[in-house]
């Protein structure tokens, strides 16, 4: 048992490392301005590269959840890391020939598929090893994804930008090699616990025979067509849509505020400030997954979502009235803390509400909310940014107003949901 206990922690750590690799996608805003400057594409055109990667992340995660029982976590996780790295390689070639459509295919489609296959696997696998610490361990694993942007924006990308003197083709090529060298071995470490594994000192909750019978007969179709699943999908989608606006454009946003405050700031100084915000906010994104996931074990899953969505409404309203870049940065960090919190609490919420054996499929499908949110949030922000080019002072307030509206709808939905299992009341 001690050997299995050590093994489950090893798998949790390697799953977290794989998530760090995949989470580097959240540093996209580090590349947004340099790519626009070099190739002349618009904010919307360039943001579609990131949006497509999140779209295919969610779609492939749904497929990954369905095929995970057949192929196993080792194959799926390592394949995900491989595809993500290949996406960077294709993107490097796309920039070499100045092809935006190929960039969409490389980073968006191929890279996004790798992200989805790699993301769903360690979450579903680690949760099986830790039935005694569901919120804590899923929060820990997905914390890695939130920290990926910190690693990319402050370590990997700056090193290669310096070495290549800003040659984006070479930067993406070197990044691909590093990500595959770390991600593939981490993926190969994934495996399920032995049949009937129960951690020492843990006693599964007792269920009535009737309730257990209903749970055993519960199908994927029953789960996905339930009102509860729809409500959970909606609050996840709306929280993601609001938060991901800043993940895609936080660097340009703070650079705009700094430029207004001090018009003499150099381009290099502005870029450093943007990268610093990406790094710091990604730390909050990662910690939020761990913090809110663990808190949900104590106060309940839906209570956590009410706090996450409700508190952010106030933050977005405050953003509408601040022009101070330091206050803006603090508020963005809180938004990312809550954004990450949704990912930390949702896996354990799915485990509580639906049959544990259905978790990979149900959780994979619920990640399609990430797909749609990855389009809605960044594209709304990018559209506002392009549409109000002649009146830049209204770009921020209009963006934050849109985010507050999304969060308000989400908070209302949370009031209709509970923590009860879908099987409660059936037995």
Tell me what pLDDT residue 335 has: 93
Cα distance from N-terminal residue to C-terminal residue, the chain? 34
What separation in angstroms does the CA of 392 have from each of 44, 55, 252, 253?
A: 16, 29, 12, 10
For the chain, which domains are there?
2-193+220-414 (1.20.1250.20)
pLDDT averages per 10-residue partition of the chain, 427 residues: 78 94 89 89 88 91 88 94 97 96 97 94 86 79 85 90 92 97 96 81 59 62 89 96 79 74 75 78 84 88 96 93 83 92 90 80 88 86 80 80 94 94 63
Tell me what pLDDT residue 209 has: 47
Tell me what pLDDT residue 210 has: 46
């Amino acid at each position: 048992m001690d050997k299995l206990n050590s093994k489950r922690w090893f798998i949790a750590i390697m799953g977290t490392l794989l998530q760090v690799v995949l989470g580097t996608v959240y540093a996209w805003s580090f590349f947004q301005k340099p790519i626009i400057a070099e190739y002349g594409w618009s904010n919307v055109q360039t943001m579609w590269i990131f949006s497509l990667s999140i779209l295919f992340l969610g779609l492939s995660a749904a497929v990954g959840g369905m095929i995970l029982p057949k192929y196993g976590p080792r194959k799926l996780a390592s394949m995900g890391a491989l595809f993500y790295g290949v996406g960077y390689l294709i993107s490097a070639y796309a920039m070499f020939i100045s092809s935006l459509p190929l960039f969409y295919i490389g980073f968006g489609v191929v890279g996004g598929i790798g992200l989805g296959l790699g993301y769903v696997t360690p979450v579903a696998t680690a949760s099986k090893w830790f039935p005694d610490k569901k919120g804590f361990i899923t929060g820990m694993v997905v914390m890695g994804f939130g920290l990926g942007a910190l690693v990319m924006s402050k370590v990997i990308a700056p090193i290669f930008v310096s070495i290549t003197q800003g040659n984006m083709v070479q930067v993406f090529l070197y990044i691909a090699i590093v990500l595959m060298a770390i991600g593939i071995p981490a993926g190969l470490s994934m495996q399920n616990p032995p049949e009937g594994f129960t951690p020492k000192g843990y006693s599964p909750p007792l269920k009535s025979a009737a309730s257990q019978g209903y749970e055993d007969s519960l199908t994927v179709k029953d789960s996905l067509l339930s009102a509860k699943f729809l409500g959970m999908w909606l609050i996840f989608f709306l929280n993601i849509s609001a938060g991901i606006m800043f993940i895609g454009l936080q660097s340009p946003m703070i650079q705009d505020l700094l430029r207004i405050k001090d018009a003499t700031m150099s381009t290099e100084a502005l870029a450093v400030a943007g990268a610093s915000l990406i790094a710091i906010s990604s730390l909050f994104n990662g910690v939020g997954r761990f913090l809110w996931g663990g808190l949900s074990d104590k106060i309940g899953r839906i209570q956590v979502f009410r706090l996450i969505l409700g508190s952010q409404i106030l933050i977005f309203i405050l953003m509408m009235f601040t022009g101070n870049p330091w206050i803006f940065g603090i508020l963005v960090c809180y938004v990312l803390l809550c954004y990450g919190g949704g990912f930390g609490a949702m896996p354990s919420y799915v485990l509580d509400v639906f049959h544990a054996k259905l978790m990979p499929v149900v959780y994979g499908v619920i990640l399609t909310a990430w797909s749609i949110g990855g389009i809605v949030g960044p594209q709304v922000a990018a559209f506002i940014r392009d549409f109000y080019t002649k009146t830049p002072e209204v770009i921020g307030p209009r963006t934050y107003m849109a985010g507050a509206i999304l969060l308000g709808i989400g908070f209302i939905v949370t009031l209709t949901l509970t923590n009860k299992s879908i099987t409660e009341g059936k037995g």
